[in-house]
Amino acid sequence: MRLGVLDVGSNTVHLLVVDAHAGAAPLPAHSHKAELRLAELLDEGGAIGPEGIDRLIATISGALLSAEDKGVQELLPFATSAVREASNVDEVIARVRAETGVDLVVLSGEEEARLTFLAARRWYGWSAGKLLLLDIGGGSLEVAYGIDEEPDAAVSLPLGAGRLTAGWLPGDPPDAADVRALRRHVRAQIAGTVGEFTRSGRPERVVATSKTFKQLARIAGAARSSEGAYVQRTLSRKSLEEWVPKLAAMTTEQRTTLPGVSEGRAPQLLAGALVAEGAMDLFAVDELEVCPWALREGVILRHLDHLPVR
């Protein structure tokens, strides 16, 4: 069957179309992405304003047309932190449903972590042993750990690259004092969760998902995306520690010249790097591997688990 997963995230609205059936790996068939930056459209009261909702509806409508063109038989729509944390989340969901027919499922932060962990577990298999998963989105950081398909521990922290950039790094390049303040904030937030994970012992494999980690690995020398999903891509803490001060000294325009860094993601790259560095340091990770599958694949896999095997 041809499935579409519609991911309404803090940075983008992303439609991923796959050919899939129960018991098999989903095969990507089409990808449609639109940059929306919902997290930046919140007003002072934390609500997504009328213009933001209009833009969201228009973007979802465009994704629906793309899904129809590609023959999607079933759509799995969900939203993450930007919609979840909006003070008018119910109004947003109701308007989207009324004007597009799409009933957005708002995932909790823990659900995000668990579904992303499922995707990583299926990608690496049982032989990977105890997995520690890190995922940096636009609005939140997800951490999950375990030996099974359901993690033993899973948390979501408000440490997304877009959220932190908007709230902590107004300059271009940012002021050194602002960078130090954000670094302290990030590490204090992460440190409060470390004990929940480390009491279960050291992981046998550390993996990361998300565009942020992919771009950090790329600028540190990992293979480009055009070389395929099966090429191993790693990121070392040493490389990251070398890059953070370089990124802090760059303007947004200068960051766009780095390999693999898009114009839309360049402003958030420093904040994402500070989160990645803090997580790797506090969880004592010397090197991690970038996983090609993430939340969208986790949503698809969970859905397929409830279908009869052919």
Residue in this structure with the two tokens 């325009």, named with its chain if needed: 253
How open is the CA angle 268-259-211, to the nearest 5 degrees? 45
Residues 133 and 144: beta-carbon distance below 8 Å: yes
* List of E strands, the chain: 2-8, 12-19, 27-35, 74-79, 105-106, 131-136, 141-146, 153-157, 205-209, 234-236, 287-290
Strands 234-236, 287-290: pairing is antiparallel
How open is the CA angle 209-81-70, to the nearest 5 degrees? 65
Global pTM value: 0.95
Contacting residues for 239 by C-beta, under 8 A, at least 6 apart: 220, 221
* List of E strands, 147-273: 153-157, 205-209, 234-236
DSSP of 195-211:
HHHHTT---SEEEEESH
pLDDT digits (tens, 9 = 90+) for 249-290: 999 999 999 999 999 899 999 999 999 999 999 999 999 999
Strands 12-19, 27-35: pairing is antiparallel
In the prediction, which pLDDT does 309 show?
58
How far apart are the C-alpha atoms of 136 and 10, rounded to whole Å?
A: 11
Domains of the chain: 2-106 (3.30.420.40), 109-295 (3.30.420.150)
In the prediction, which pLDDT does 310 show?
55
In the prediction, which pLDDT does 205 show?
97
For the chain, list residues with pLDDT below 50. none
How far apart are the C-alpha atoms of 265 and 242, rounded to whole Å?
A: 20
